[in-house]
Every structure is written in structure tokens, then in C-alpha cells.
Amino acid sequence: MFIILIIGLACSMMGLITKEGNKQLSAVALYIVNPLLIFMSYQSEYSSKLLHGLLWSFLLSALSFAVMIGLSTLIISKKRPEHSLERFSSVYSNCGFIGIPLIRGIYGDEGVLYLTAYVTLFNILVWTHGYMTMKESRDFKSFVKAATSPSVIAVFVGLVFYLAQVRLPYMLHTSLEYVKEMNTPLAMLIAGSAAAQTDFIKAFKNKGLYMVAAYKLIALPLIAFALVHFIPAPHIVKMVVLIASACPVATTGTMFAIQFDKNPERCSEFFAVTTLLSGLTLPIVAMIGEML
């Protein structure tokens, strides 16, 4: 993933991906690739045990997001010049791009299915609360636009298909799988291209970056986990939610920042630094979760 990010950075430096081109790539990722990734995650075999765990995952994911959104609103003052970027980055993680391969390696396919609940709520919230946070708008028109976005629609259509066990024809399924697999490389190219316009020396002097890293990678996930720890849910579900919430800052923030002209370089800094630090923080957070 780092190598792909570097390729995106090099493409931007060579002029192969312009600022306008990166904005167009962001639109493709947000409106086509991401919705297909969500929908295709529900194209799996039905199981009552897995459905039970999936329902627990929805509940714990919702509680986790509620805690993180509430805390980020309280502790990140609106007086800060980039409060919208910092609040968004403190709540929303790279649970799809990094979380899926990570959870698959630890808990296998069962863990990935439970992760889809977190990813589902992530997409509903990122396109409603996250969208309006980045846009700094709370009008009803913005909410309706966010609630009817392709990613949110894909959540409900995918869930209906899963419960009814409607499976796509082989040819269509294979074609959409190819598009779905573009998700991680496309997101890394976009983030790398945005990072090419970043002054990292200046970035590391910004205290907000370290604040976001501390909240996103350690503080908020562990506080949320502590609050849901005593709920009698399967342990694997608790750990999946904890790891997903402790993943680095979501690349969606960079894409939104590009769309709204909200300093995408800063969001790319948040993503790059937290991705690097997560190599140390994720094992620590996971060990704390296992000990509890």
C-alpha cells in the first residue's frame, strides 16, 4: 500500500496526475468503486450464527461510533481553524482499505463478515455526519444528498440481497469484483497524489497532526472499547470493532477535502502519518483488548 502511495506521489510530481485529475479520480472512487465494494461484501452464503454475530457487530459498531463522535465534538474545539478536518479524521478510520486485509489475516472470513457491519455504518455515517462535518453545513438539503449517496444506497441493497440470498450471475459478479478490487490501489494513488503537494517538514510542526494521531489510533478506540466491554457479545466481534476503529485515518477525508477544497494536503498528512504510526499502535491496542 505504501508502494502504491509512492507511485501516486511520483505520478503527481511528473504531472501525470494533475490537481484536477486527482479530483476526478476521487469522484470515481467515492461514487462508483466504494459503493460496489460495499455491495459485493454482502454477496456471501447465509448463516444464522454469522447473522447473530453480524447483528452484535452492528450494535457495537454503532456504540463505538457514537462514543467517538461525541468525544471528538467535545474535545476538539470549533475555534480551531481546521476543526472540521480534525474531527472527521479523529472518528473515521481506514477500516476498508487497511481493515479488511488486516482482519482477514487475524480472524479469517468470519472476521471479515463482522467487519462489514462496521464498514456499513462507517459508510452511512461518513456520508451523513462526516459529509456535513467536512462541508460545515447542517442544512436539510445536505443531509438528503448525503443520505441518498451511492454508498448508503449500496448498504441497504446489499443487505437485502444478503438476507434474500440473491446472488449475481457469474459474468456480472466477476465484472463487479474487478471494479471492487480497484478500491485500495485507487485510494492510495489519490492519497499519494495529494501528498505530493505537501510540505512534510512544515506538517510535522503542526501540533494538530499529533493530536489527531493520539485520538484516532489510541484514545478514542480504547475508550469506546472500555464502554462496550461488559456487553455480552462474542469476543471476536468486540476485537473486530476495536481493530477497525483503531485503524489509521480514512482516505475518504482526503477525497472529501478535494471535493470541498478543504486543504486535502492536511488530510493526506493525517493519513500518511497515522498509517505509519499504526504499525506500532495497532498491535498495542489489540494486546490491550485481548488482556481486557
CB-based burial label for 108 (10 Å; 0-12, 13-18, 19+): exposed
Position 256 scores a pLDDT of 83
Q: State the pTM of this model.
A: 0.79
What is the CATH code of the structural domain delimited by 2-291?
1.20.1530
Burial 115-146 (b: 16+ CB within 10 A, else e): bbbbbbbbbbbbbbbbbbbbbeeeeeeeeebb
Position 143 scores a pLDDT of 65
Please provide residue 93's backbone torsions phi and psi, each rounded to the nearest 5 degrees.
-105, 170
d(Cα 41, Cα 51) in Å, to the nearest integer? Answer: 14
For the chain, residues with pLDDT lower than 70 are 137-143, 145-147, 198, 200
d(Cα 44, Cα 167) in Å, to the nearest integer? Answer: 8
Position 138 scores a pLDDT of 67
The per-residue pLDDT of the chain, averaged, comes to 85
Position 172 scores a pLDDT of 95
In the chain, domain spans: 2-291
Position 139 scores a pLDDT of 60
Question: Which tens digit of pLDDT belongs to each residue from 220-235?
Answer: 999 999 988 889 999 9
